[in-house]
Amino acid sequence: MSADAPAEPTKNKMRWLVPVAALAIGGVGALAFTQPDALRQITMAASAETAPEDEPVEFGEFSEMPGIVVNPLGTGGRRYLMVKIGVEADDAETLTRLDEMSPAAVDAVIDLMGALRVEQLSDIGQRDSLKEGIRTRFNRILGEDGPVTRVYFTQYVLQ
């Protein structure tokens, strides 16, 4: 009997450990499924405690271009991207000049985005490089009248 005595407490612990772990995992899963914002807030609060404070972002002047519709490469016109672009610059004169050059700016967006496939346009990881490509093209169009400092997607619908 003495040989069996140490095995019994371990077996007893395992009997409770598995259901408790399953309940904990199930509870977190249920929270994530039913209250995704609550779980996001919990994880963001935890990361905010450890992250150093960032410097406040300084913004310039803003303008929003009208919606642009693009047919992605290889879709034969069966798919489309509708995008609205917000533009930021240090001064309003830059935005006024870009508005005057609107046909060239819209054409630059259509050329850039129309050369990409649906898979590329739907990849969220590619959005920053798309914004940078648009910003670069806008600054080329503006020349000495620039620069555009930031580009934003204020609407991005891929159908």
Residues 80 and 117 in one domain: yes
Residue 80 lies in a domain: yes
pLDDT digits (tens), the chain, 159 positions: 555 555 555 566 666 666 666 666 666 665 555 665 555 565 555 555 554 567 888 899 999 999 999 999 999 989 999 999 999 999 999 999 999 999 999 999 999 999 999 999 999 999 999 999 999 999 999 999 889 999 999 999 999
- How many domains are there within the chain? 2
Given this model, what pLDDT does residue 56 score?
87
Q: What pLDDT was estimated at residue 14?
A: 60
Q: What is the DSSP string of the chain?
A: -TTTTTHHHHHHHHHHHHHHHHHHHHHHHHHHHH-HHHHHHHHHHHHHHHSPPPPPPP--EEEEPPPEEEPPTTSTTS--EEEEEEEEESSHHHHHHHHHTHHHHHHHHHHHHHTS-HHHHH-GGGHHHHHHHHHHHHHHHHGGG--EEEEEEEEEEE-
End of a domain among 15, 31, 50?
50
